[in-house]
Structure 1
């Protein structure tokens, strides 16, 4: 069952000192279990720190939050199962146990985190500032899990450069929030 069809960031509890091993394990499981459309990225919050030892300065990566890692995923039962059963993962932050799904980071929290700890090798994603479509118009999704799907726009948020589109998911019209760059208007 799909709890959310939007990819969101979740915080994982891990064994302290095993954060990078959890990242490796999870990335391997994503490939072998064919979960690329549901689990996207895993980040361990590390920063480079200058450490002096024996009179020499050395740059080392230091874990900012020992015992935690972040995962960007679509929260489905199957994806949740794959992540929480990855060796080294002890649970999700914001999950109350007893089979309850975890709470994701807010978009603001995720943006702040990614600015500080995101992969420096990645090109920053430039969001278009203006959408060449209006509420009620049909757009085609050109990126993400629902690539190729079409649906009408129900809401536009110019401050966040996001829009909400109704997509037919498993026979139900489901609202999904997308960035302006993830859609293209259909020509009438």
Structure 2
């Protein structure tokens, strides 16, 4: 059944996102619907706010008024989610909910995909995308959590570290 599950955007009253998420999770647990409703997410970002007391890190909702739900869409799941207090509907046309595309899910960073890279620190790599396309460099650091790689490139006789996406570099074939 998990193959049929897609991410859907649920519109809520502003400020009700956490309540809606908790209520959906409670429904899923009480009704044994774990095979139909898999995951509920509220995209958050960490922002540094400058206050009188100095800088403070705060988590802020990326899309206030919206909750993301990974579920198998059928009449029962639609009805359960749609009739939760605070939910105004699904994103879509009329009563038809439209699932997010794989590209949208990846861009939102909702689902973490395991990334396997064919290079390691110290390897020579070729940059395949961006302003430095076709440059060669040495991998200095790989950050799998952020999907970033730091490559040291020689430009104009100087060693310059450049941060790139993991898929923007490939092992150099010497």
**TM-score, normalized by length of structure 1?**
0.56
SS at match of 1:75: coil
SS at match of 2:78: helix
Aligned to 1:144: none
Kept after mapping to 2: 8 A contact 1:5/1:75:
no
Kept after mapping to 2: 8 A contact 1:14/1:69:
yes
Aligned to 1:65: 63
Q: Map 1:24-39; keep pairs closer than 5 Å.
A: 24-39=22-37
Shift in Å, 1:95: 3.6
Aligned to 1:107: 102
1:38-72 C-alpha deviation (Å, 9 max, x unpaired) = 00111111101111222322111111111111000
Aligned to 1:23: 21
CA RMSD of aligned residues (A): 2.3
Kept after mapping to 2: 8 A contact 1:11/1:69:
yes
Aligned length: 116
Shift in Å, 1:89: 1.0
What is the CA–CA distance in structure 2 between the aligned matches of 1:94 and 1:87, rounded to whole Å? 19
Unaligned runs of 5+ in 1: 128-188
What is the CA–CA distance in structure 2 between the aligned matches of 1:15 and 1:57, rounded to whole Å? 30
Kept after mapping to 2: 8 A contact 1:15/1:89:
yes
1:137-179 C-alpha deviation (Å, 9 max, x unpaired) = xxxxxxxxxxxxxxxxxxxxxxxxxxxxxxxxxxxxxxxxxxx
**TM-score, normalized by length of structure 2?**
0.60
Shift in Å, 1:101: 2.7
SS at match of 1:66: coil
Shift in Å, 1:126: 5.5
What is the CA–CA distance in structure 1 between the aligned matches of 2:54 and 2:16, rounded to whole Å? 27
1:88-134 C-alpha deviation (Å, 9 max, x unpaired) = 111000041xxx33111111111221x2x55xxxx74468xxxxxxx
Aligned to 2:171: none
Give 1 or 2 for the bigger CA radius of gyration. Answer: 2
What is the CA–CA distance in structure 2 between the aligned matches of 1:78 and 1:107, rounded to whole Å? 24
Unaligned runs of 5+ in 2: 117-174
Aligned to 2:79: 81
